[in-house]
Amino acid sequence: MEVHSFGLLGDFVARLEKDTLGEVEVPDDAYYGPQTVRALNNFRVSDEKLPAGFVKAQAAIKIASAKANMQTGKLDSHIGEPIVEAAFEIRDGKMRDHFVVDAFQSGAGTSQNMNANEVIANRALEIMGYEKGRYDVIHPNDHVNMSQSSNDTAHTAIHISAVESLNSELIPEIDRLLSSLNAKAIEFNKVVKPGRTHLQDAVPLTIGQELSAYVRMLELDKKRLVESVDCLLELNMGGTAVGTGLNTPPEFSRIAIQEIRSVTGIEFRITENAFEATQGAGAILECSAALRGLAVSLTKIANDLRLLSSGPRAGIGELNLPAVQPGSSIMPGKVNPVMAEMLNMVCFQVLGNDTAIMMASQGGQLELNVFTPLLAHNLLKSITLLTGGIASFRNKCVDGLTANIEKCAELAGSSLALATSLAPMIGYDKAAEVAYRAHRENLSVKDIVIEMGLLEKSELERLLDPIELTGINK
């Protein structure tokens, strides 16, 4: 073989392959083929590829399709079995470096689908003892892509990869964060502190009560996310180009979905309407909306912890976040809430991803939504970001969270909002007068009430008991 130069690939030993547009030089050690090489040169956009989870889902589709085609008599087993073996290798993580197409690529993910078809075809040829490129024996389109189209496989791969990632990665990580937050809520259940509304003093509560709100927020976010998973369980297996199922044998979809269940261990089901599944992206949009909701809750939690730990001398300082690294290149001894800041940035990116998903979901025309690569890239990226962000935040921040108990008690005792508990006894207007005087004269609410002779000391002590004010004993 000769050494040739080709675009970004530099010098390499090449084999000459052919597709419908003509001849293409392919690196001899590459398992991909001519259409992938064309995509490499056409889509020089970013350094990002569709993630491993998507490729793993593609492999599951090729396995299920080959088995369904063999069972219906459309594909000879001496071709189908090597295809299945090669696809299982890819699902196990092998040959990942040969999935090289940029995430921002041809509409409908045709390049990504052909990348998978070519890699599987060439590996299957190798298994059979042939050289790569012998498409007269196993063809990427005729055999590996049999009974499929990019139009149905791309949507299906998004659904499979999202469900697998959510079930094995993100949802378990949410559970771990819930467990950590709940443990802290129990630990600080009777640590009284001032509440704040409008960033102004409000009636007291405990840190445990405050954290319990975060727990419930995340429980509801998880519930919505799990509900979105059910929508993603519906797969477009066998819809082919526009949803008609053209070029698929009878029973293909039924058998293929059974094989998908076998490969993944997940109870996927066939779509009720292949035309909708090809044109729309409703399940993907719903999942992204659930991720967006999770990101919003996490942003609120991260922001709150940053405020409550502000200081250490000139801020609120009720909570202490673990010091995990120096906070300033110029101010010695400064420590910043970097884990909460990281989580904020993760969540901001997820919100941006959701906006792109929304645009892509409504952008498809007529019988096909062509923006599946972007849908896949952003949805799976959001799942990955949230999984890693939550894990790091829990491990390096929440698990080491401590309360500044003395500071909480001091602030709670000095809050002007304590006058609220006196209103039923002395009236709203008189209670307001107490609060205003306490603020002007820099005295406590208790001091002003005693000075004004409004209540007996014993009654005042009962009304201003910190724990009773929080309602925690009710």
Mean pLDDT by 10 residues, the chain (474 residues): 44 88 95 97 96 98 98 98 98 97 96 98 98 97 98 98 98 98 97 96 96 98 98 97 96 98 98 96 98 98 98 94 92 94 98 98 94 98 98 98 96 90 91 91 90 88 88 82
Number of helices (H) and strands (E) in the chain: give both, helices first: 18, 9
| Residue ranges making up the domain that contains 446 | 415-470
pLDDT of residue 204: 95
For residue 204, say if its preceding peptide bond is cis, omega within 30 degrees of 0: no
pLDDT score recorded for residue 466: 84
Of 369, 349, 373, 378, whose CA–CA distance to 104 is shortest?
373
Q: What is the pTM (predicted TM-score) of this model?
A: 0.94
- Would residue 328 show up in a list of annotated catalytic residues for this protein? yes
pLDDT score at 11: 63
- CA separation, residue 66 to residues 147, 258, 271 (Å): 9, 12, 20
Last residue of a domain, one of 83, 117, 146: 146
Residue 17 sits in the same domain as residue 134: yes
The CATH number of the domain where 423 resides is what? 1.10.40.30
Determine the residue type at 8. L
Give the domain-ending residue among 117, 146, 175.
146
301 and 235 in a common domain: yes
Q: With respect to residue 332, please indicate whether it lies within any of the assigned structural domains.
A: yes
- CATH number, domain at 341? 1.20.200.10
Of the candidates 112, 146, 180, which is a domain's last residue?
146
315-319 long-range contacts (CB < 8 A, ≥24 apart) are: 316/411, 317/404, 317/407, 318/193, 318/207, 318/403, 318/404, 318/407, 318/408, 318/411, 319/207, 319/401, 319/402, 319/403, 319/404
Residues 306 and 320 in one domain: yes
Please answer whether residues 51 and 384 qualify as being in contact, where contact means their C-beta atoms are separated by less than 8 angstroms.
Answer: yes
Tell me whether residue 259 is in a domain.
no
Would you give the DSSP letter of residue 48? -
Q: Check whether residue 131 and residue 192 sit in a common domain.
A: no
Collapsed DSSP state (helix, strand, coil) of residue 155? helix
Please identify which of the residues 179, 328, 415, 458 carries the catalytic annotation: 328
Supply the pLDDT for residue 179: 98
Is 251 domain-assigned?
no
Q: Which two tokens stand for residue 438?
A: 């306490």
184 and 292 housed in the same domain: yes
Same domain for 191 and 60, yes or no, is no
pLDDT of residue 5: 44
Instruction: Evaluate whether residue 265 is within a structural domain.
Output: no
The count of domains in the chain is 3
Residues 116 and 175 in one domain: no
Query: Does 83 map to a domain?
Result: yes
Looking at the domain assignment, is residue 263 inside a domain?
Answer: no
Question: Residue 142 is part of a domain; what is its CATH number?
Answer: 1.10.275.10
Q: What is the pLDDT of residue 473?
A: 79
> Do 83 and 141 fall into the same domain?
yes
pLDDT of residue 457: 87
Question: Is residue 79 in some structural domain?
Answer: yes
Instruction: Examine the domain organization and report whether 124 and 163 are in the same domain.
Output: no
Burial pattern 200-211, b for ≥16 Cβ within 10 A else e, equals ebebbbbbbbbb
Would 33 be classed as within a structural domain? Answer: yes
Same domain, 186 and 127: no
Same domain, residue pair 427 and 396: no
The phi and psi torsions of 147 (rounded to 5 degrees) equal 65, 20
As a whole number of angstroms, the distance between CA 96 and CA 41 comes to 19
Q: Could you say which DSSP state residue 72 is in?
A: T
Closest to 119 in 3D by CA, of 34, 57, 47: 34
pLDDT at res. 460? 87
Whether 290 and 341 map to the same domain: the answer is: yes
